[in-house]
Amino acid sequence: MILLITRRRFFGQSFGITTGAVLARSLGLKTGSFGIRAAGRTGSTPMIITSHPNPTGQAALEEVWDTLAAGGSALDAVERATNIIELDPEDMSVGYGGLPNEDGVVQLDASIMDGRTYNAGAVAGIENIKHPSSVARLVMERTDHVMLAADGAKEFALSFGFPEEDLMTEKSRRAWLRWREEHSDRDDWGPPDHLRGWEDEQGRGIPEAAGDREAFLRGPELSTHGTVNVLAVDARGDIAGITSTSGMSWKVPGRIGDSPIIGAGLYVDNEVGAAGATGRGEDVIKACSSFYIVSRMREGRSPQEACEDALRQIDARYAAVGIDFRPGEKFVAINRDGDYGCAWNIGEGPPAMSVMDTAEGYRRHEGVNTTG
Ligand code: ASP
Residue 350: CATH number of its domain:
3.60.20.30
The verdict on residue 187 lying in a domain is no
The verdict on residue 133 lying in a domain is yes
Domain total in the chain: 1
The verdict on residue 200 lying in a domain is no
Residue 270's domain comprises 42-168+221-369
Q: How many whole angstroms from 263 Cα to the centroid of ligand 1?
A: 14
Q: Which residues contact 279 (CB under 8 A, 6 or more apart)?
A: 3, 5, 225, 227, 327, 328, 329, 330, 344, 346
| Dist CA 50 CA 82 (whole Å) | 9
Q: Which atom of ligand 1 is found nearest the CA of 255? A: 9
- Ligand 1 neighbours (beta carbon < 6 A): 3, 225-227, 245, 247-248, 257-259, 278-281
Predicted pLDDT at 207? 57
Predicted pLDDT at 39? 47
The verdict on residue 288 lying in a domain is yes
The verdict on residue 358 lying in a domain is yes
Q: Which residues contact 202 (CB under 8 A, 6 or more apart)?
A: none
Q: What are phi and psi of 342, to 5 degrees?
A: -150, 155
**Per-residue pLDDT reduced to its tens digit, 287-296:** 999 999 999 9
**Per-residue pLDDT reduced to its tens digit, 17-70:** 233 333 333 333 333 333 333 445 777 899 999 999 999 999 999 999 999 999
Predicted pLDDT at 215? 57
> Is 370 a catalytic site residue?
no
pTM for the full predicted model: 0.85
Q: How many whole angstroms from 202 Cα to the centroid of ligand 1?
A: 46
